[in-house]
Amino acid sequence: MNILYLSIILFFISCIILTIYHKSLSKNKINFIIISTMGFSIYLTINSIIDFFNNKGKTFNQILWYLVDIRGLEIPMKITLDKLSLTMFSIVIGISSIIYFFSIWYMKNEKNYAKFFIYMNFFVANMLLLIISDNLLFMYFGWECVGLCSYLLINFYYKNKNYGKNAIKSFITTKISDIFLLISIFIFYNYLGTISIQEVNKFSIMYLYKNNYILQISNLFLLIGAIGKSAQFPMYTWLPDAMSGPTPASALIHAATMVTAGIYLIVRMHKIFILTPNILYIMYVIGLITLIISGLFALTQRNIKKILAYSTISQLGYIFLSLGICSWQAAIFHLITHSYFKALLFLSAGSLIKNCSGNQNIFTMNCSYKNNKFLYICFLIGGSSLSALPLITSGFYSKEYILLRLFSNNYIYIFYICILGTFITSLYTFRMIFYVFHEKYKKYNNIIKKNIFHNIPLLILCLLSTVAGLFIQFPYLDGFICKISSDEKFLIIISCLSSIFGIIISYIFYKNNIEIYKFILEENYIDYLHRFFYNSFFLNSIYDLIFVKPYLIITFILFKIDFIDKLMYIPVFLIILFNNFFNKIENGYLRWYIYNIILGVLIMLFLINILHIHYVIKKTYLYI
């Protein structure tokens, strides 16, 4: 386990090699570097997990070096390998490897082929650094670099101005939440004198529990940081706009890296969150609101990638709900299954979009399922797992466990609201599938050549999205999956029926599309409601007005007026000003010198008089 950090170094090295030699390297050589990096990282990860189980699950800590080592101040680069970090490390490496493999096929005709993998390598490396770091400062470094990489990938097609605006919006939105996370780190260091995650969890119970208001503030700021990174209400608007980048990059952001960072932060710091029930209450309320409204947003969308983006926000809402009731294992379990089926859906969507010549509108894609049988099966499996179709999908078991945990903790009303969320999920998921694959008019029947780089990743993800995915044992879920079986069969039946009922209703809507569309046009209030949800409560427009436009105005001003260059002239200007002033004083005229002496004496007498008056008043006040 003590060499697992080499995986991070490998990603950084491959990133540097590709950056320096990208012009001279052929695509085959780039592929060799990518596959070698991933293969060796997978080997190190599997070896570390085996060592972990052989050592009976003991936590491994190692200090690699000291960033600062002076008297009274030590900042070590310390890594921690425990059940949670190894589980997350495995997910990131595993899903990233599959996405990399698929990207070789997807990006083969791109001019900036090497640049794409430079960004991806840097992305994965910093996510891994975030996961295994025990130091909040290094975790924050990885946290910020992940945000930077997402900006670069979203703005990959930078010549499109709209994509640039989307990248800026995502960058600014996440940076606002990042500031709160940084303040929280400062609070911990100020009151505890440490930024080690293990020590913060330990000392918070001992010292900050007495100063509960400090703990409340620090945990609230931690939560805001997690909300921004994991795209929860009201900071969810950046994620649908993050679809501007290449589809494999979207898959990586949604399934394995950026959006999972906020969840990992909360689970890693769960010991201090337990001390603040009010913050946990806020957490599960935010999760509940997010899972419902994002489902309603997805119902009104036409863009296939935006539908998948809102589905990600909704599923993360379930996870935040689970975190809010302290069901940490259930949250990680659903995060794992979500990474399977969401990667499958995004990669399948990417392949489908290529077949449709870049068209992403589900009403006009019109791909025949007869000509795209493999992609159709992939979508069915991924969509079924997203909709928690009973028994055969991995998504069913993870979501069901969250629902049962809600019911067993007496959150009865919340349980039924989540059932409604499950119904909405199956409704918009199969609405998408029916319109894309079952339309009578087949506009796109061109089949793009596919190879093993396309088929093998999708096949693996198909298996993982079914019940077969549950047989992979992760350290954090050791001895956990067997607990899923419950006597509350009635609740499971309700959940199953909600998923199936959603599929049936979506089929009815699909068959009666013209009548429903006429009804929406005739009823104004329904049309207004549709627009309200389609525009995501108009929060996008509000954030554009408050954050994006001021940022663009400021950058335009800075571009036109070089303030740094102007600042360089200030010392020169002051020297010239003083030089001119002294030149006027030292002019050789006697009357000018006499005038200055008299003026100086008068000023001195005035100051002495003021000081004397102040002294007399003060003495009189003391005497009284």
For residue 239, CA distances in Å to 61, 65, 73 come to 35, 36, 39
Domains of the chain by residue range = 566-623
Q: How far apart are CA 476 and CA 263, in angstroms?
A: 14
What was the pLDDT predicted at 546? 80
Residue count (the chain)? 624
Strands 60-70 and 73-81: antiparallel
pLDDT of amino acid 410: 86
pLDDT for the residue numbered 492: 83
Task: Tell me which DSSP letter residue 470 carries.
Answer: G
Q: Yes or no: say if 308 and 345 are a contact pair by the CB < 8 Å rule.
A: yes
pTM of the model: 0.87
Helix (H, G, I), strand (E, B) or coil at 370: coil
pLDDT at 484: 47
In 3D space, the residue among 508, 242, 246, 506 whose CA is nearest the CA of residue 383 turns out to be: 506
Q: What is the pLDDT of residues 333-372, one digit of tens each?
A: 999 999 999 999 999 999 998 888 888 888 888 777 778 8
Is the separation of the CB atoms in 475 and 52 below 8 Å?
Answer: yes
Classify burial at 191, counting beta carbons within 10 Å of its beta carbon; exposed 0-12, middle 13-18, buried 19 or more. Answer: middle
Quote the pLDDT of residue 547.
75
Distance CA 211, CA 232 (A): 29
| Radius of gyration over every alpha carbon of the chain, rounded to an integer in angstroms | 30
Segments of the chain scoring below 70 in pLDDT: 1-2, 71-72, 208-210, 440-448, 473, 475-488, 513-525, 562-566, 582, 584-589, 614-624
* pLDDT value at residue 582: 67
H/E run at residue 268: helix 258-268
| pLDDT tens readout for residues 68-112 | 777 667 778 888 888 999 999 999 999 999 999 999 999 988 888
